Structure 1
């Protein structure tokens, strides 16, 4: 009987701890990507939100349109990777919940 009570008492705490660890892992996702020409480097968070933008000193050689394209393309590349990492963590969490 005491074993049952112990399980009932500890299981919710264990689940909350697991949820906290999951939330921390998601929040810790940071993806850095650099354009093929090395002119732009971006860092995005777990949602694909830009958190850092680093431009090469030679970025001024681009036209405004080229600049826009390279920044957007690099951000999209990083965001796709962040999304994949996010999805992988969710899949692991769900698998552990089932198992």
Structure 2
């Protein structure tokens, strides 16, 4: 019985460590994008929220609506980069929860919820 309990505790500890690593990884995710001309630079977090914005002197020569569109476009690009990073963190977490002996993306036939 002690060996079973030790294995259960070890498994729970490993899963907790994987969850903590994922949380830390998600907190570190940042998407950055700067327009080719360097006029607009943005940084977003893992949720896609804008956390940094830099505008060069060049934006003063542009109409405000165009500057706004550049900022939105740059944010979208940065959010895509952040989303890719976030997906990698979540994939790593998911892999840590795959039962031993089972390949990721497969399921065992005949389980209680199988048809």
- Whether TM exceeds 0.5 here: the answer is yes
Larger Rg: 2
Residue 45 (structure 1) shift? 0.3
Unaligned runs of 5+ in 1: none
1:8 & 1:72 partners in 2: Cα distance? Answer: 49
TM alignment of 1:44-63, pairs within 5 A: 44-63=44-63
Identify unmatched segments of 5+ residues in structure 2: 100-115
Question: How is 1:7-46 mapped onto 2 (pairs within 5 angstroms)?
Answer: 7-46=7-46
Aligned-residue RMSD, C-alpha: 1.4
Q: Which runs of 4+ in 1 moved over 6 A?
A: none
SS at match of 2:33: strand
Q: Distance in 1 between matches of 2:24 and 2:74?
A: 26
TM-score (normalised: structure 2): 0.78
Q: Which structure has the highest helix share of the two? A: 1
TM-score by length of 1: 0.90
- Give the length in aligned residue pairs: 99
The CA distance in 1 between the partners of 2:88 and 2:35, in whole Å, is 24
Shift of residue 2, structure 1, vs aligned partner: 2.9
Are 2:76 and 1:76 equivalent residues in the alignment? yes
